[in-house]
A and B are shown apart, each in its own frame.
Chain A
Amino acid sequence: MKTIKTLLCATAIAALSTTAFARDLVMNANTSDPAQKEAMENLIADFEAAYPEIDVKFNLYDHEAFKVALRNFLVSDAPDLITWNAGNRMKVFVDLGLFEDVSDVWASENLYEQMPAVVGASSVDGKQYGVPYAYYAWGFYYRKDLFEQAGITETPSTWEEFKEMGAQLNAADITPVTIGTKNLWPTAGWFDFLNLRVNGADFHADLMDGKIKYTDERVKKVFEIWEELVEADFFVENHPAYSFQEALPFMNQGKAAMYLLAPFIVSMFPDDVREQVEWFPFPIIDESVGIYEDAPTDSFHIPVNAKNKDDARLFLKFAAAAENQTKTAGTLDMLPPNINASVKDDRFAQGGFAQLSKADGIMQFYDRDTDPALAKVGMQGFQEFLQHPDRIDDILERIEVERARIYGAL
């Protein structure tokens, strides 16, 4: 009996001493793509080097699995830190009271002045609930050599030029645009940009918040403009059969010239193709409408049920610092939200940065800005529209039913 007691005491002391010396910081992340994984591991290594007494336990999840797991671990066994997205996706959990208010971190590090572009996306009712580590621009990734082959010397900046460019590419037997719609969300990039260019950001934000009917004439106008492209054979055939990566070979094989997407596509091109790839922003449709862009923002959050919130705050401060933002965003091929950080010296990051600096306002992305159930029905509608533009009235009617179910009749 005595020996047992001694043993118990010894283990208890050992346990106490380890907690005293090494402070565990548990982090659950969805950064599973190769570049994302590397960026996160580097950031953690740097953090541990700066704070040797803190031991970061890093749990990596696949993107979709994370969406499911998040809802479980936030209520049952919360980690100290998570990666997630700013905007409506964050607001869902803030409204449920599951994300910690980190306005104190914003105030103490003066992030309001250092990260002006992402304050809005990180705030709910004037309080901040996360610290962004990267954001990125959407735009056209195109093959310069194919453009030259079709006799195109300049990238289009107006809608007329854009359509003209498509006609030239089609004449040269190159499909202008590749898109894989099996995952649905690539279609939403098109809708977002067309709606932002035609109706502006205020209208778009209201639509995302369910304050405008999908059967509104202004929404129909967007699809009329989109239909011009569908009718002019802008898009590859059979796109519902391909995931977003599976649509890339069309570009790699020179059958299609461009893809409306985000920087994570860059590392997926084979080296010889990537050399030919350049970037241009979505063209202007209506001169009187400002330049609004999609710029999805990825950020760190502290769950309300976290155990080690002090060290989690240390991590947020560390991740917000300019030099760490430079490094992380650089590895990700994305942009650092901190204005004192430097943007990677590469044509995609610089191009996206220049465009966002010009922007009159930014949105997150269709499936980050609106209700997830509505986003799904909406994107299925966009996919069907691309196959059957004549069904647009039915499609909008169906999306409107879902909008009305979620946000109430208007």
Chain B
Amino acid sequence: MTDMTSYPVPPKPRHTTFYSRNKLVITPLLFIAPAFAMFSLFVIYPIIQSISLSFYEWQGIGPKKWVGFNNYDLLFKDPVFWKALVNNIYWLVLFLLAPVLGLIIALFLNQKVFGIRLVKSLFFFPFVVSQIVVGLVFTWFYDPAFGLIAALIEPLGLKLPSILASEDWATFGVIIAGLWPQTAYCMILYLTGLNSVNPEMIEAARLDGARGWRLLVNIVLPQLRAATFIAIVVTVIGALRSFDLVAIMTEGGPYNSSNVLAFYMYDNAIFRYRMGYAASIATILFLIMDVYIVWFLMRLLKNEKGSR
């Protein structure tokens, strides 16, 4: 305990210390350091680890066997992989309907009448519910024997095809279920965006004779650019991450027709004990996301330069 007091007192700096000379470089680095350490440990390290795992054959326990690019070789010959990739593209394209639908609903709800707050929160409700619940509810909707849709259209003499049991329709059935909460999310983004639309500009445009479609496209939408950007970002991420709905509604079935990369990866790792193969799917998914992340970062950098 006594040795603490004998700590040598540093001599007072006469001119400058190393720190004060390099303050502008060191201080930001110090501030970044904790975040960087965390990010390296929990994001970068796992990415490197799973990429390296994709070159091994490993069943989760026991010895790992180096197989080089064999996993990728198998992957590119695997019809399920291509099916899942195509389905991911369906997800990506159709999910972009969410910002459009969200904008339409937001414009509709952006009025000041009695009770609109309640209506807004009801529209937002699907996003609050867990994805698992959304999946279950839609599964029951679609049920061709006991479901709500079947019960509604049966009196009209129509017969509902079994959406989730059909290899042609299962993916779209799941995507529609996914669009429901995603649209609600985009709607909220647009509603907050609409709040910050400058009313004077609208008024000025009105005076100049702009109305309806032209007012929306030329005056309102440009002011919603930030909201649109965020809406597209979260939607694309949502589409590429699509996993929970597939897991709960179809488990990728019938016979892989509604599989997506994220679920196929999980299926291989957890139920087939092919960790290396799953890691190679993860790597491919990561590369696909990279394209999009690069676009996102470039957009962001450009915006920041512009605002300076």
Binding site for B on A (CB under 8 A): 67-68, 71, 74-75, 96, 98, 181-184, 237-241, 249-250, 255, 372-373, 376, 380-381, 383-384, 387, 398, 405
Contact = CB atoms under 8 A, between A and B. Distances in A.
- State the 8 A-B residue pairs at the shortest beta-carbon distance, nearest first: A238-B162, A240-B254, A373-B272, A241-B165, A238-B165, A384-B255, A240-B165, A380-B255
B61 A68 contact: no
A238 B253 contact: no
Interface of B: 60-62, 74, 79, 139, 142-146, 162-165, 167, 250-251, 253-256, 267-268, 270-274
22 contacts: A67-B271, A68-B270, A71-B60, A74-B61, A75-B61, A181-B254, A237-B144, A238-B145, A239-B165, A240-B162, A240-B253, A240-B254, A241-B143, A241-B144, A241-B164, A255-B145, A373-B272, A376-B271, A380-B256, A383-B253, A383-B254, A383-B255
A366 to B, nearest CB: 14
Contacts of A239: 165
A182 B251 contact: yes
Contacts of B164: 240-241
Nearest to B143: A241
A398 B77 CA distance: 11
A249 B164 CA distance: 18
Contacts of A380: 253, 255-256
B61 A71 contact: yes
A405 B143 CA distance: 37
Nearest to B144: A238
A71 B272 CA distance: 13
A338 to B, nearest CB: 32
Contacts of B273: 71, 372-373
Contacts of A255: 145
Contact of B146 (A68, A71, A249): A249
Contacts of B251: 182-183
A398 B79 contact: yes
B contact patch SS: loop
Contacts of A241: 139, 142-144, 162-165
Contacts of B268: 373
A68 B60 CA distance: 10
Contacts, number: 70
Contact of A96 (B62, B145, B272): B62
A212 B244 CA distance: 37
B60 A372 contact: no
B66 to A, nearest CB: 17
B254 A376 contact: no
Contacts of B146: 249
B248 to A, nearest CB: 11
A381 B165 contact: no
Contacts of A250: 145
Nearest to B277: A373
A181 B164 CA distance: 12
A384 to B, nearest CB: 4
Given A71-B61, A96-B62, A98-B61, A384 B74 contact: no
B81 to A, nearest CB: 13
A238 to B, nearest CB: 4
B123 to A, nearest CB: 29
Contacts of B267: 376
Contacts of A237: 144, 162, 165
A67 B143 CA distance: 30
A239 B143 CA distance: 11
B269 to A, nearest CB: 9
A374 B120 CA distance: 50
Contact of B270 (A67, A183, A384, A405): A67
Contacts of A376: 267, 271-272
Contacts of A383: 253-255
Contacts of A183: 251
Contacts of B271: 67, 372, 376
Contact of A384 (B144, B145, B254): B254
A373 B276 CA distance: 13
Nearest to A247: B145
Nearest to B164: A241
A373 B167 CA distance: 22
Nearest to A240: B254
A181 B167 CA distance: 14
Nearest to A250: B145
Nearest to A391: B255
B274 A182 contact: no
Contacts of B272: 372-373, 376
A181 to B, nearest CB: 8
A405 B255 contact: no
Contacts of B274: 373
Contacts of A405: 74
B217 to A, nearest CB: 43
A107 to B, nearest CB: 29
B255 A182 contact: no
